Amino acid sequence: MPTGVLSSSPESAQPSVPRAAVVGCGDISAQHLAAIGSLAALGAVRLVGVVDPDPRRREAAAEAHHAPGYASVGELLARGGVDVVHLCTPHSEHAPAALEALEAGVHVLTEKPLAHTLADAERLTEAADAAWLASGTQLGVCFQNRYNAPVVAMRDLLEGGTLGAVTGAEATVMWHRPAAYYAARPWRGTWAGSGGGLLMNQAIHTLDLLQWLVGPARLVDGRASARALGNVIEVEDTADMVLEHAGGQRSVFFATNANGVNAPVTLDIQTEAGELSLRGALTVRHGDGRVEVVEEAGVLVGERSYWGASHQLLIADFYRCLRARERFWIGAEEGAQTLRLIKDVYARSYAPDMWR
The CATH number for 209's domain is 3.30.360.10
Any domain includes 317:
no
Closest CA relative to residue 144, chosen from 186, 88, 105: 88
Same domain, 187 and 120: no
Same domain, 271 and 200: yes
Question: Of the candidates 144, 172, 195, which is a domain's last residue?
Answer: 144
Same domain, 164 and 300: yes
Task: Supply the pLDDT for residue 1.
Answer: 57
Helix axes 204-214, 332-349, angle to 10 degrees: 120
The domain that contains 118 carries what CATH number?
3.40.50.720
294-297 contacts at long range (C-beta below 8 A, 24 or more positions apart):
294/149, 294/150, 294/153, 295/149, 295/150, 296/148, 296/149, 296/150, 297/149
Question: Can you tell me the distance from the alpha carbon of 53 to that of 67, in angstroms, rounded to the nearest whole number?
Answer: 16
Task: Supply the pLDDT for residue 3.
Answer: 39
Same domain, 190 and 280: yes
Any domain includes 138:
yes
Answer yes or no: pTM beyond 0.85.
yes
Any domain includes 325:
no
Collapsing DSSP to helix, strand or coil, 176 comes out as strand
Task: Supply the pLDDT for residue 355.
Answer: 72
Report which DSSP code applies to 5: S
Same domain, 232 and 102: no
User: What's the number of CA atoms in the CB half-sphere (13 Å) around residue 101?
Assistant: 31
Task: Supply the pLDDT for residue 356.
Answer: 77
Q: Determine phi and psi for 194, rounding to 5 degrees.
A: -110, -25
User: Is the Cβ–Cβ distance between 330 and 317 less than 8 Å?
Assistant: no
Same domain, 126 and 167: no
Same domain, 158 and 295: yes
Any domain includes 322:
no
Same domain, 91 and 160: no
DSSP β-ladder status, 19-23 and 84-87:
parallel
89-93 contacts at long range (C-beta below 8 A, 24 or more positions apart):
89/23, 89/24, 89/26, 90/24, 90/185, 90/187, 90/188, 90/193, 90/194, 91/115, 91/116, 91/187, 91/193, 91/194, 91/195, 91/200, 91/201, 92/116, 92/187, 92/192, 92/193, 92/194, 92/195, 93/24
Question: Can you tell me the distance from the alpha carbon of 104 to that of 131, in angstroms, rounded to the nearest whole number?
Answer: 10
Any domain includes 250:
yes
Same domain, 90 and 177: no
Same domain, 122 and 170: no
Any domain includes 310:
no
Total structural domains within the chain: 2
Tens of pLDDT along the chain (356 residues)?
Answer: 553 333 333 333 344 899 999 999 999 999 999 999 999 999 999 999 999 999 999 999 999 999 999 999 999 999 999 999 999 999 999 999 999 999 999 999 999 999 999 999 999 999 999 999 999 999 999 999 999 999 999 999 999 999 999 999 999 999 999 999 999 999 999 999 999 999 999 999 999 999 999 999 999 999 999 999 999 999 999 999 999 999 999 999 999 999 999 999 999 999 999 999 999 999 999 999 999 999 987 654 444 444 457 999 999 999 999 999 999 999 999 999 999 999 999 999 998 877 77
Question: Of the candidates 82, 117, 144, which is a domain's last residue?
Answer: 144
Sign of the C-alpha dihedral computed for residues 221, 225, 227 and 228 taken in this order: positive
Contacts of 307 (CB under 8 A, 6+ apart): 28, 31, 300
Domain span at residue 25? 10-144
Same domain, 268 and 288: yes
Any domain includes 5:
no
Closest CA relative to residue 198, chosen from 231, 229, 243, 244: 229
Same domain, 228 and 261: yes
Any domain includes 251:
yes
Question: Of the candidates 144, 163, 193, which is a domain's last residue?
Answer: 144
